[in-house]
């Protein structure tokens, strides 16, 4: 299998490493030249609980790609999806599948404009991963990944992807209720990411304080009510359970929104809190906690923009 991982950040590299271990021909694609150069010079360093490995994976800037691939795994920020896929159009052929493992809602529709509907896959991963430096990532924690065709019913290629990732060390399964899984992850992220970003602390800090625990429960409850109002009848308890895992097993993990604010970057709050709150308002559901968390993150982004002027 020829695989291009579009967006070779912490999660993209984690999945690229799994495809590589399983024998796939992998190219990590990113616009960060220093990161790409480090991988090509010394390999990708992956720090796991089981030990540190250095993998000889190819890495490239988008405009360097020319050969068609079987699969593009999209890990870019949601607001970069359109431009990022346009930038690697040379690798997307008539048999290429696209898989979004991005945060937030609506990623299936963003991919649908680039390939036929039956070649769009969507998924969600609850694995932690942090960027340590150029060419170096760390993933210390357990998790799982699920995926499924976004619109079609033919699961043959999706199953091959699951088997490849599992063979490479990342357990991945097919889940026909993938849209419930995506909503669940979006609710989780819209709760935990802003709280970590706003406090500038990792999940372990949230678990040690009753104020954050109360806010977490209220935010998750709003997300569940919104999903149900929109016909997504997910079970809410696994989301509460996942917040507990985050505050214990992933206590020192820096969520992506916290990483973004530390780096002075725009966050994905619009695809998380913004999307859920919009869905809530469309159905007359109140989501004041999720909306407030989202608004506060937007203010943090505005502060960064002011400082950059």
The answer on pLDDT for 73 being more than 80 is yes
Give me the pLDDT at residue 69, please.
98
Burial 273-285 (b: 16+ CB within 10 A, else e): bbbbbebbeeeeb
Domain finish residue from 155, 176, 197: 176
Give me the pLDDT at residue 306, please.
86
Give me the pLDDT at residue 205, please.
97
How sure is the predictor about 308, in pLDDT bands with cuts at 50, 70 and 90?
confident
- Per residue in 219-261, pLDDT (tens digit) is 999 999 999 999 999 999 999 999 999 999 999 999 999 999 9
Give me the pLDDT at residue 26, please.
98
Q: Are residues 91 and 228 in the same domain?
A: no
- Look up the domain containing 273 and give its range: 179-308
Q: Are residues 197 and 131 in the same domain?
A: no
| Mean pLDDT, the chain, whole residue set | 96
Domain finish residue from 176, 198, 225: 176
How sure is the predictor about 187, in pLDDT bands with cuts at 50, 70 and 90?
very high
Put simply, whether the predicted model's pTM sits higher than 0.75 gets the answer yes
How sure is the predictor about 142, in pLDDT bands with cuts at 50, 70 and 90?
confident
Q: Are residues 294 and 189 in the same domain?
A: yes
Give me the pLDDT at residue 143, please.
85
Count of structural domains, the chain: 2
User: Per DSSP, which regions of the chain are E strands?
Assistant: 2-6, 25-29, 44-48, 51-55, 58-60, 71-74, 97-100, 120-125, 130-133, 136-139, 145-149, 172-174
What the block records as the tokens of 170 is 């990342």
Q: What percent of the chain has pLDDT over 70?
A: 100
Burial class (CB in 10 A: 0-12, 13-18, 19+), 191: buried
Q: Are residues 82 and 205 in the same domain?
A: no
For 160-165, which contacts have Cβ atoms below 8 Å and span 24 or more sequence positions?
160/1, 161/1, 161/71, 161/97, 161/99, 161/121, 164/1, 164/18, 164/19, 164/22, 164/24, 165/15, 165/18, 165/19, 165/22
The answer on pLDDT for 307 being more than 90 is no
The answer on pLDDT for 153 being more than 90 is no
For the domain that residue 195 is a member of, what is the CATH number?
Answer: 1.10.1040.10
Q: Are residues 221 and 142 in the same domain?
A: no
The answer on pLDDT for 93 being more than 90 is yes
Q: Are residues 95 and 150 in the same domain?
A: yes
The answer on pLDDT for 309 being more than 90 is no
A 10 A CB-CB count for 139 gives 22
- Per residue in 19-58, pLDDT (tens digit) is 999 999 999 999 999 999 999 999 999 999 999 999 999 9
CA distance 92 to 99: 12
Q: Are residues 223 and 153 in the same domain?
A: no
Give me the pLDDT at residue 9, please.
94
For the domain that residue 116 is a member of, what is the CATH number?
Answer: 3.40.50.720
What the block records as the tokens of 132 is 């340590």
Q: Are residues 49 and 186 in the same domain?
A: no
Give me the pLDDT at residue 148, please.
98
């Amino acid at each position: 299998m020829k695989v291009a991982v579009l967006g070779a950040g912490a999660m993209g590299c984690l999945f690229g490493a799994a495809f590589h271990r399983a024998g796939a021909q992998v190219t990590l694609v990113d616009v960060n030249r220093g990161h790409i150069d480090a991988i090509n010079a010394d390999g990708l360093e992956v720090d796991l609980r089981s030990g540190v490995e250095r993998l000889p994976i190819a890495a490239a800037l988008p405009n360097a790609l020319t050969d068609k691939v079987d699969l593009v795994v999209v890990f870019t920020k949601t607001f970069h999806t359109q431009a990022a896929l346009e930038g690697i159009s040379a690798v997307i052929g008539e048999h290429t599948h696209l898989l979004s493992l991005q945060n937030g809602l609506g990623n299936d529709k963003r991919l649908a404009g680039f390939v036929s509907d039956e070649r769009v896959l969507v998924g969600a991963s609850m694995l932690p991963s942090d960027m340590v430096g150029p060419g170096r990532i760390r993933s210390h924690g357990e998790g799982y990944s699920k995926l499924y065709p976004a619109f079609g019913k033919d699961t043959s290629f999706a199953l091959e992807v699951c088997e490849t990732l599992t063979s490479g060390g990342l357990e991945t399964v097919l889940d026909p209720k993938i849209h419930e899984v995506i909503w669940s992850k979006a609710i989780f992220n819209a709760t935990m990411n802003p709280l970590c970003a706003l406090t500038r602390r990792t999940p372990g800090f949230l678990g040690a304080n009753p104020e954050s625990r109360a806010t977490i429960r209220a935010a998750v409850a709003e997300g569940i009510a919104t999903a149900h109002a929109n016909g997504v009848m997910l079970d809410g308890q696994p989301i509460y359970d996942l917040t507990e895992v985050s505050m214990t097993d992933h206590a020192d993990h820096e969520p992506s929104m916290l990483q973004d604010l530390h780096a002075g970057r725009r966050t994905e709050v619009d695809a998380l809190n913004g999307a859920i709150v919009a869905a809530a308002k469309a159905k007359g559901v109140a989501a004041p906690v999720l909306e407030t968390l989202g608004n506060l993150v937007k203010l943090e982004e505005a502060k960064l923009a002011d400082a950059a002027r």
